Amino acid sequence: MKLEETKLSSTEIFDGVAIHLYRDEILLPNGNKGVREVIRHPGAVCVIPITEDGDVIFVNQFRYAFNKVTLEIPAGKLNPGENHYECGLRELEEETGCKTDNYRYLGCMYPTPAYCSEIIHMYLATELSKGEQKLDEDEFVDVEKMPLSDAVKEIMNGNITDGKTQTAILKAYIYLNK
């Protein structure tokens, strides 16, 4: 059986600042019609910055949807027309004040493919130089460092719960230890 669904029509339900919600009528593989509600998202980038000492630079950030502070790697939403490579460098500097001379693409992930089109591109940054944070007006973060091996343990113990952070750290750990 062919596992594709074909969009027949699309209606925007909500036009928000960060997300846009659509109700799509679709044709299922068996010929029946169905409905999919989809959040259209411009995409994002996350960067795992690792110091010469092997520490990951994290940001603590309040996440309103969960009403708590989470430990994450620097990340941000793509601006219209922005290249994900450049977005990652921008977010790294804005949130941590760091710049890098060694920046490697680790791939992408689909955080919630059942209902959201967001793609998060992941980068590893080493050979860091420190400058000043350039936070957005509505952005508040605290910077924290942790050895990469401890970060892996914290993921496995359930203490680092952010999906993009988990994925990027585990990929970086495997890449750096092969």
Residues recognised as catalytic: 137
Residue reference for tokens 């092997």: 54
DSSP assignment letter at 126 = E
Q: Which two tokens stand for residue 80?
A: 């219209």
Sign of CA dihedral 23, 25, 29, 30: positive
Burial 156-177 (b: 16+ CB within 10 A, else e): eeeebebebbbbbbbbbbeeee
